[in-house]
Amino acid sequence: MRFLKKALLEGSFLLDIDARDMRSILRQTLSYVVATGLLSEDKRDEVEDALMEREAWASTAIGNATAVPHAYLDAFKEPIIVFVRLAHPLNLGAPDQVPTQFVFVLLGPTGAATRHLDALANIARLMVDDEFRYEAGVARTQLDLLGAVDQFVKRTAPSAVGVEKTVPQSLEYTGRLFGGLIQDIHRRWPWYASDFRDGLHVKSVASTLFLYFACLAPAVTFGGILAELTNNEIGAIEMIIASAFCGVAYALFSGQPMVILGGTGPLLIFTWMLYVLCVTLGIEDQFLEARAWVGLWTALLMLILAATDASSLVRFFTRFTDEIFAALIAIIFVYASIEAMFRVVHGVYAQDEVSHDGALVPLLLAAGTFYIAMSLSRFRRSRYLLPRMREFLADFGPAIALGAMTAVAVMWFEDVEIITLPVPDSIRPTTDRGWYVDPFQAPRWVWFASLGPAVLVAVLAYVDQNITARLVNSRDHKLKKGEAYHYDLAIVGVLIGICSLFGLPWLVAATVRSLNHVHSLATMEEVVSKGGDVHERIIHVRETRVTGTAIHLLIGLSVLALPLLMSIPMAVLYGLFLFMGIVSLSGNQFIGRLGLWLTDPSLYPVTHYIRRVPMPTIHKFTLLQFGCLVVLGIVEITPAGMLFPLILLLLIPVRHIAARYFAPEHLAALDAEEDPDEEETHWV
């Protein structure tokens, strides 16, 4: 590594050169070498011919967007390394079929090849690292390149004990009151300023536009459902204000701003059951006051959980549980969007005067939104246009799809009756009341009896918040700024307490929206597996507070533009929800293993677990997860949904019991925290 750093220190690098093939790359590189006096002009053609002769024998593109052309002639007095970054990646015949963007030109006197072996090994180690490739791709100066190398050395340095810690520091039990919470603050505070600087990028604009609608529509929908279930005690306007206030507060003050808060099914069901209980007890007129006490007790319980490092228990969850939970929430999004479209079609044909246009147009709008968003999100893999244009279209794909299909509905189908976003017509509580809810107006016995329901709400919030945060913090997402489970749980508890005093809905981490937030800010890289399968993986995520703040500020400002929002067809939003659900399912190893049940065994992908684990064992493990998914799904869609987190917690002992029936080495492969490095380093 010292040889490589020495070359960069001496300025042996060229950034963003415009080249169309290997010969033009080498010509520009040799021009630089001649200009620095390391090669005489009369030897230039000889070196170029030697380099191209080596290239004709076999491509020097070794994979991971890297090529290493080399030549050793008497024209040189000492070994030379020149780092070259291409303005536009080129297909130079790499074994992984990934276009080449980085070229390390190795030159030296005859017999100096052995002196380059160490440099070649270090190049291989560097370029297999996703984060280094990202940093090298955005570097603008010599210091940026040297800093990227230094950061790589720090990331890959062996630990003091020589082994990787199995439990992240953020989930270690400190044994001290507020110990974990204080550590979370110390871990995240140094990054606070960079959380805003890193958001100054076009990706933040695309993410904000996409998630603004992706968060506003569920807020309005959940608010409408709550209004029906609580006799208009809580409605859409309360949900919009809660989303704006809690979203901005969480984005500015939380430890993990990549998480997006929102309403969830279990909390909605619990609110309904609490209202029914109040009606049964004859205190429906004090429903909001009773709910305020439940919320205040919940806030206190969550603060106690945060102070006692209760989130450290999340370390007992593994990929087994994460995959089931993420798959369930994504499937609910997919099912909800499809079911909503069937409901629209059924509603049209249930009328006395049937209008085929009223059924067909919403289907076209939803399908068009989904198709455009999905196609554009994959456009970065296309061969058309320049890389920056492909990246722009991929980032703005969902926003473009929503705008395009809304324009189609307004311009071409103005004569068709289409259901639009049902936003409230004014900024006031759904019922005739003031905003502040005085909890002391409730009967005195309610003050203490509400502690019982608060325990269930605290469990609901604890599980939803921590599992979603764990999914966001997955190693597959390459987040670098650290976690803050205990601190974030305290923040959510405080927000629940505040919302309770103003009759606003309770919000916790929303899984699908949070995962889409991460994906929308990610830099992706195309990967071709040994079996020829093409997929994308995250190499870097812009961890920022800018997008979360902007998204929820826009939601708050939406109350000033209600007429405009009323023109957005619900069918377009259903298509957007379908896209979000499908995107959340992609990359879920459990879903991939489900597909093996219908796949020709001779065409199975070459993955680490298929190589290491017998197929009957893989199918048994997948069947166990599928059974757990079915049980959770049944609980989620029934009135027992408020017990969903308790059932989810039971997956921990299920996974523990499974260890008795699966070999440890098989579980290690199927339930690995992340894919083994060997999946990405086959050419090193």
Closest C-alpha to 611, from 670, 528, 672: 670
Radius of gyration (Cα) for the chain, nearest Å? 28
Contact 39, 33 (CB under 8 A): yes
Rounded Cα–Cα distance for residues 64 and 127 (Å)? 6
Rounded Cα–Cα distance for residues 450 and 283 (Å)? 13
User: Residue 306 contacts by C-beta under 8 Å, 6 or more apart in sequence?
Assistant: 180, 181, 486, 487, 489, 490, 493
Within a 10 A sphere around the Cβ of 623, how many other Cβ atoms? 13
Closest C-alpha to 537, from 556, 514, 519: 519
3-state secondary structure 404-455: HHHHHHHHHCCCCCCCECCCCCCCCCCCCCCCCCCHHHCCHHHHHHCHHHHH
Rounded Cα–Cα distance for residues 184 and 485 (Å)? 7
Closest C-alpha to 334, from 566, 32, 581, 43: 581
**H or E segment at 62?**
strand 61-63
Distance of CA 663 to the CA centre of its chain: 32
Residue where the block lists tokens 């677990």? 609
- Secondary structure of residue 256 in the 3-state scheme: coil
Closest C-alpha to 100, from 61, 139, 130: 61
Tokens of 681: 């380093």
Tokens of 597: 């049940």
Within a 10 A sphere around the Cβ of 117, how many other Cβ atoms? 9
Contact 510, 361 (CB under 8 A): no
Contact 672, 680 (CB under 8 A): no
Q: Is 70 one of the catalytic residues?
A: yes
Closest C-alpha to 55, from 16, 21, 84, 10: 21
Residues found in the chain: 684
70, 517, 519, 552: the active-site residue = 70
Angle at 543 between CA 261 and CA 336, to 5 degrees: 35
Largest alpha-carbon pair distance within the chain?
99
Please list the active-site residues: 70
